[in-house]
């Protein structure tokens, strides 16, 4: 929501889609991100007909392997150990459904490179609890920023909402002026 506020957009409601986010067999990470964002938007759009609905999904992947949204320390440790010292991709998909029911989609892909992490660095990051519920077991907007050696792409996309793509969707749909935002109803999925 903070990223939307930077564009002058204030949502009237936040309505979690609560969908099954299980990847399909052999589903590519970028396709998965697009599908989940579109599914979230469709579910929320059905509950708010005629509203402007914005939904997003962010996927961290190593090769074609989709990393989980870490819920346990073990998952977070496994993610950080896998990402340590290597590059990985972050796909952040956005879907916007306008008042007429037209869906528009954008995808941002970024490449993130972690430094080689020591056991102590992983322990300290795990102790921060920032990883909980985060794709790939880290939050770039927090302490993990100090562990990232390089980023090519969208910092806001890695955070979970690519601002450039989101702004473009809102402008195309006529719900954001080139100089700022408005107060349109915007349930988020």
Instruction: Tell me which residues are annotated as active site.
Output: 57
CA-to-CA dists, residue 113 to 9, 137, 141, 174, angstroms: 31, 14, 15, 36
- One DSSP character per residue, 19-81 reads ---PPPTT--HHHHHHHHHHHHHHHHHHHSTTS-EEEEEEEEEETTEEPPB--SHHHHHHHHH
Per the listing, tokens 């077991």 go with: 137
Region of 18 on the Ramachandran plot (φ > 0 left; ψ -120 to 50 alpha; else beta)? left
CA–CA gap between residue 91 and residue 160 (Å, rounded): 9
**Of residues 55, 169, 67, the one with CA closest to residue 112:** 67
Task: Give the N- to C-terminal CA distance of the chain in Å, as an integer.
Answer: 12
């Amino acid at each position: 929501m903070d990223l939307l506020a930077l564009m002058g957009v204030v949502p009237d409601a936040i309505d979690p889609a609560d969908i099954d986010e299980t990847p399909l067999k052999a589903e590519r990470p970028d396709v998965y991100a697009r599908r989940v964002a579109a599914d979230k938007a469709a579910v929320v759009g059905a509950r708010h007909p005629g509203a402007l609905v914005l939904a997003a999904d962010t996927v961290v992947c190593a090769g074609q392997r989709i990393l989980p949204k870490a819920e346990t320390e073990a998952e977070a440790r496994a993610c950080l150990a896998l990402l340590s010292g290597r590059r990985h991709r972050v796909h952040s998909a956005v879907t916007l459904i306008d008042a007429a029911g037209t869906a528009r989609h954008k995808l941002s892909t970024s490449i993130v490179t972690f430094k080689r992490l020591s056991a102590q660095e992983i322990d300290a990051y795990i102790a921060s609890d920032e990883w909980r519920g985060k794709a790939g077991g880290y939050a770039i907007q927090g302490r993990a920023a100090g562990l990232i050696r390089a980023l090519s792409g969208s910092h806001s996309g890695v955070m979970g909402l690519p601002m450039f793509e989101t702004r473009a969707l809102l402008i195309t749909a006529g719900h954001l002026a080139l100089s700022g935002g408005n107060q349109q109803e915007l349930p988020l999925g």
